[in-house]
Amino acid sequence: MPEEILQTHKLLDRCEVELGKRFTVHKLHLADDKEALIRSLAPRVRAIAGGNVGPELMDKLPRLEIIANFGVGYDSIDTAAARARSIRVTNTPNVLNDAVAEITLGLMIALARRIPQADQYVRQGKWPSGNFPLLTEINGKTVGILGLGRIGKEIAVRCQAMKMRVVYHGRHRQPDEPFIYYDKLVDMARDSDWLVLIAPGGKATEKLVSREVLEALGPEGYLVNVARGTLVDEAAMLDLLQSRKLGGAALDVFETEPQVPEGFFALDNVVLSPHQGSATHQTRNKMGDLVVANLVAHFAGEPLPSAVV
Ligand code: GLV
């Protein structure tokens, strides 16, 4: 008999098909009576595919051994609670590094050159009445990266290729990296033209990019967030963008996405994107394969390909 697993939210179609070939999958998000489904599975279910797992759900599934998250960020899983219950947690690192780094550079250039706004300018027939305003370039500028992890490093080399100067802030200095380290985020923001956020979400980093940091980045400064909306004081950011005390922002993630505060829609100094850093066929397929590989390895008693707990 195949193992029964609980899926907590919609996954990529191919991932769902592959899971279905190997396991009996129960879809919590589609259940009319979620509590009844959980109760009925409690004596048997040893694995979850997906995120949004807190201690309550863990306690309702006493045989739970592993949670395989779809995504590199696992802030929707309470890892401390999982650790305390000896539940393993896996994520999908590395396979998305290039895709996220590519969209980061895309957003930077889109913001610097207002590419979405320029597209609208042409479509709305405004070009014959005058040229689009002159803007700025990213070469020669300093980019401060918050979070020089696997994706941060891919962003860094691409920024170097764009002839930018790269500096970074994170919990620790990385002596083998050639970039200048700042131990205070606010200092890095003050010295940077661009601030790129690619650090993990969750309680530990909540609103790390405070009003003070955004003010330090300043009226000529640009913020790019391809990590988690929770990293930024979003209300302060909107206020500073509206009053032009922050130069601009390119945002792929939001505090309560997919809801985006309407105040952003009226601004011409922002570029908005619907959380699509890893949203390509090739990358999402690899992420899905890694979810499956972690679950298969677990039930085969083999080492997990990408465990975080
Ligand atoms: C995307 O946001 C991810 O965490 O993989």
Q: Is 228 a catalytic residue?
A: yes
Q: Residues enclosing ligand 1, CB less than 6 A?
A: 71-73, 96, 277-278
Q: Which of 9, 11, 70, 72 to mutate to test the pocket of ligand 1 (most atoms within 8 A of CB)?
A: 72
On whether the CB atoms of residues 269 and 248 are closer than 8 A, the answer is yes
**CB neighbourhood size of 143 (10 A):** 26
pLDDT in tens, 271-291: 999 999 999 999 999 999 999
- C-alpha 73 to ligand 1 mean position (Å): 5
Which tokens in the block code for residue 174? 């990385």
Contact yes or no for 272/226 (Cβ under 8 A): no
Ligand 1: residue of 11, 100, 280 to mutate (most ligand atoms within 8 A of CB) is: 100
Tell me, in angstroms, the distance from the centre of ligand 1 to residue 129's CA: 43
* Topology of domain 4-94+282-299, CATH: Rossmann fold (3.40.50)
Return mean pLDDT, the chain. 98
Q: Do domains 4-94+282-299 and 97-272 have the same CATH topology?
A: yes
Res 246: pLDDT? 99
Name beta bridge partners: 197: 146, 225
Judge whether 275 counts as a catalytic residue: yes
∠ CA 281-225-137, rounded to 5°: 95
Q: In this predicted structure, what is the pLDDT of residue 88?
A: 98
Q: What is the pLDDT of residues 146-168, one digit of tens each?
A: 999 999 999 999 999 999 999 99
| The pLDDT of residue 147 | 98
CATH architecture entry for 97-272: 3-Layer(aba) Sandwich (3.40)
Rg (CA), the chain: 21
Q: At 23, is the pLDDT very low, low, confident or very high (cuts 50, 70, 90)?
A: very high
CA-wise closest residue to 224 among 122, 47, 105: 105
CA distance 169 to 172: 8
Domain boundaries defined on the chain: 4-94+282-299, 97-272
Q: What is the total residue count of the chain?
A: 309
Cα dist. 52→29, 77, 111 in Å?
A: 11, 6, 32
Q: In the prediction, which pLDDT does 226 show?
A: 98
Active-site residue (options: 88, 228, 284, 298) = 228
257 is catalytic: yes
What pLDDT band is residue 92 in, cutting at 50, 70 and 90? very high
Residue 5 Cα to ligand 1 midpoint, Å, equals 22
> What average pLDDT score do residues 140-146 get?
99
User: What's the gap in Å between 161 CA and the centre of ligand 1?
Assistant: 25
CA distance 228 to 257: 10
Q: How many CB atoms lie under 10 A from the CB of residue 21?
A: 10
